[in-house]
Amino acid sequence: MEIEMEAKNSSFEVDLGNLMALDSHHSYYPSQQSRVELVKECLQKGTELVQAIADSLFILPSTQDVEGPLVQLPAPSTRLPREKHLPRPKPPTKRDEFAKKKGIINRNKDKQVYDDQSGTWKRRHGYDRANDEEAIPIIEAKPTDDPDEDPFAKRKENKRGRVDKNEKNRIQNLKNAAKFGALPSHVQLAATSLPITGTHVPQKKVTKDELGSVAGFASTATASGWGSLTKNCQAKSLQNIKERIESSCR
């Protein structure tokens, strides 16, 4: 029985790089067999192919490990085709170029930070975060502050300016990525006028308005369910509904 199994295994083409075995001489006639016989033959042939892969693996030199013997697989001999091209490298953003120029190394920040107001450790971002500006009831005045200016309104205005600046930089980074064909897949799928990378659609110049609308579509696809926790998206959707109602009443 072992000699017969070895003779069968020797007729298989084994590609250990892909953990694949092939019997190029196998032939069957499904029209003359019942479903039960076909299933039985497939299971038998599959067992022989898996056994051929296992026998070839145990021939390779191995090293002992705590979890068992380890083997180094050889390079694949069968080239499997790809439907899409290899992902293109993401172009560096302005922040990446600045960090490279100044030699800044990005380090992962701790999720918990010390809150000076409560004297406890809180999360860095999100609800009930540490050192939240909106949770501070009193703002200390500086000698250079304008006495006629509302500090709370100024704080909101400064925050709005930072958000707008970040959004502008994000759109610019998307435009730079579009030039290299390295747009994120979710942005490509959300854009009806943008070609999907790897397809034979002729390239076209991407405008700022197209990227802005696409970024808005992509921002609604959040874990909260179509951006229900995104205040900006909610405000825009309510504004659109209000405009449609006003136009219908005219």
Q: What is the pLDDT of residue 53?
A: 92
Which domain covers residue 246, as residue numbers? 151-250
Residue 60 resides in a domain: yes
Q: At CA 39, angle to CA 35 and CA 45, rounded to 5? A: 140
* CB distance 163 to 169 below 8 Å: no
| pLDDT on residue 41 | 85
Question: Does a structural domain hold residue 10?
Answer: yes
Give the model's pLDDT for residue 1: 39
Is 44 within the bounds of a domain? Answer: yes
Domain boundary among 71, 104, 128: 71
What pLDDT, on a 0 to 100 scale, did the predictor assign at position 2? 42
Whole-angstrom distance between the N-terminal and C-terminal Cα of the chain? 89
Is residue 161 domain-resident?
yes
Residue 143 lies in a domain: no
Domain termination site, one of 71, 98, 117? 71
Q: What gap in Å lies between CA 69 and CA 54, rounded to an integer?
A: 13
In a domain, 210, yes or no: yes
Asked which of 11, 37, 71 is the last residue of a domain, the reply is: 71
Low-confidence ranges of the chain (pLDDT < 50): 1-7, 192, 194, 196, 225-226
Position 188 scores a pLDDT of: 64
pTM of the model: 0.39
130 in a structural domain: no
The per-residue pLDDT for 137 is 78
**What is the pLDDT, as a whole number, of residue 153?**
86
Could you give the number of structural domains in the chain?
A: 2
**Does some domain include residue 120?**
no
Look at residue 49 in the predicted model and tell me its pLDDT.
92
